[in-house]
Amino acid sequence: MTSDFVIVGAGSAGCAMAYRLAEAGRSVTVIEYGGSDAGPFIQMPAALSYPMNMGIYDWGFQTEPEPHLGGRRLATPRGKVIGGSSSINGMVYVRGHAKDFDTWAEMGAQGWAYADVLPYFQRQEHWHGHHDGGEPDWRGHKGPLHITRGPRSNPLFHAFIEAGRQAGYPVTMDYNGQQQEGFGPMEATIWKGRRWSASNAYLKPAIATGRVTVVRALARKVIIENGRATGVEVMRNGAVEVITAGREVVIAASSINSPKILMLSGIGPGAHLAEHGIPVVADRPGVGQNLQDHLEIYMQFAAAQPVTLYKYWNLWGKAMVGAQWLFTGKGLGASNQFEACAFIRSKAGVEYPDIQYHFLPIAVRYDGKAAAGGHGFQAHVGPMRSKSRGAVTLRSGRPEDAPVIRFNYMSHPDDWEDFRTCIRLTREVFGQEAFRPFVKSEIQPGAALQSDDELDGFLREHVESAYHPCGTVRMGRRDDPTAVVDPEARVIGVEGLRVADSSIFPQVTNGNLNGPSIMVGEKVSDHLLGRTPLAPSNAEPWINPNWRTSQR
């Protein structure tokens, strides 16, 4: 079985590449271990807590005991399904801050500055925010990825944005436009009431061209002959076979599985590979290193009036919402409920936002457990640029074994200070006049916890991953010994092999990772086709003019 390109992973980047390569007339085989994304648990936006916790759709990874979090093991969900993590995520769409990409370029990812990537964000988007104070010039209007905003009909969304304004923060009507900093409406990959995953946006139309084949199999390793990748060894229906690539192999299997596949193929830290009896093809010490993520806490408040979604948080309520969505595609089921958000700076001297908020009109956990006390609401908040770094390493030389995942969360002292700042700034926002009619009391952490030590104790027990792992196949200069891929996403030291997903991010971006992962697929498809990249943009992003002297 031969095609021009073989892509490992039908996730955010893989689907985008399949679409663009097929559009250019190339043949593509996509290898995906997971199955179909059909069915209401994935397609109904409000059901987002289900697929993330279903073994049929999730790889089920967890971290090793995290030493700075009292030995807790945290869940690390990754999509094992058509559409990858875009089929099980919270559907929040954030490009990232302009400065994130400028930083990538400074770190050696030449050609990935904001001016370079903005045209690819525009190419991927079909944006529907025109009537809502957005910025059409900054957005894309013809791409496959539909981006919408929730109706914000619950009064709590307005209260959150207004409270931010009252606290002295900017308001931004399009954080994906010129100005990320501020409080405003949140955007989502939802279209016509359905989860608009990379599968719906890119893969299904690509398959319809007849040039893309999806093979359901477990990728075991890349076949490398005389220093060139020629195909992928897979396990399909209990038998090992090879899927050959006429031109190139692209790994797009996530920041957890991409480094694992590279190491199983002999690309990675030589000594580590030798431990597992894997012959070294390319000694790249950076493979699996530089692992990073966003952590967050759920600041929960009891509501003074029954305006939250708690009234639907029972079997009958969920059945009603589900039935309405099934028959009409509308109602609460058509939203991920994340309809307001904020990006703010933690202190004076920070040039661009380093704290993100998701606001949710119910007090509930990602695993679907509602908070005690009934009516409540919450803000997810956490620092965007943790200095903590971890690693993904092999557990064994067996492709079926999960890798060893160690984030070293909260290992840098600044993380603790940043998180305490998040808690205190959040309390101030919820103390504003706009929330006076709605806030009864603070459920979590609880007003009794005030000192640094008390807050640290709470954080140790309660920080959760925001599920934004990245960085394990870092992009950089070809002469950088810690880089794994060059700025065209080519694996350094092997011909005909690229990696294109969130693992190549040199540094985690500001916000959720689905948007920038799709952008990587869009941009790398041009490199695969040998095309001149899209012309850089001249757009000038907004930076708070008082950032040196003021926190807001």
List the one residue out of 137, 210, 207 whose CA is nearest residue 176.
Answer: 137
* DSSP assignments along 439-485, one per residue: EEEEEETTTT--SHHHHHHHHHHH-EE-S--B-TT-B--TT-TT-SB
- Provide the token pair at 395: 């557990």
Helix axes 155-166, 413-430, angle to 10 degrees: 110
Is 314 marked as a binding-site residue? no
List the one residue out of 266, 342, 214, 295 whose CA is nearest residue 464.
Answer: 295
Cα–Cα dist 197/349, whole Å:
38
Q: Do 552 and 168 contact (CB within 8 A), yes or no?
A: yes
Q: Do 119 and 101 contact (CB within 8 A), yes or no?
A: no
Is 89 marked as a binding-site residue? yes
Cα–Cα dist 419/438, whole Å:
25
Is 92 marked as a binding-site residue? yes
3-state secondary structure 374-442: CCEEEEEEEECCCCCCEEEECCCCCCCCCCEEECCCCCCHHHHHHHHHHHHHHHHHHCCHHHCCCEEEE
Is 81 marked as a binding-site residue? yes
Strand 497-499 and strand 282-283: the pairing is: unpaired
- Provide the token pair at 15: 């689907």
Selected catalytic residue, list 68, 380, 468, 527: 468
DSSP state of 369: P
CA angle, residues 444, 445, 449, in degrees to nearest 5: 145
Is 491 marked as a binding-site residue? no
At a CB cut-off of 8 Å and minimum separation 6, what does 479 contact? Answer: none
List the one residue out of 224, 234, 244 whose CA is nearest residue 2.
Answer: 244
List the one residue out of 498, 509, 524, 414 whose CA is nearest residue 470.
Answer: 509
68 is catalytic: no
List the one residue out of 547, 487, 491, 473 whose CA is nearest residue 523.
Answer: 487
Q: Do 130 and 137 contact (CB within 8 A), yes or no?
A: no
Strand partners, 216: 32
Strand 2-8 and strand 28-32: the pairing is: parallel
| DSSP 3-state of 309 | helix
Q: Which amino acid is at 441?
A: S
At a CB cut-off of 8 Å and minimum separation 6, what does 39 contact? Answer: none
Check the CA dihedral 266-270-275-280 and report its sign. positive
DSSP state of 532: P
316-320: long-range contacts, CB 8 A cutoff, minimum separation 24? none
Task: Point out the annotated binding site for FAD.
Answer: 81, 89-92
Just list the catalytic residues: 468
Task: Point out the annotated binding site.
Answer: 81, 89-92
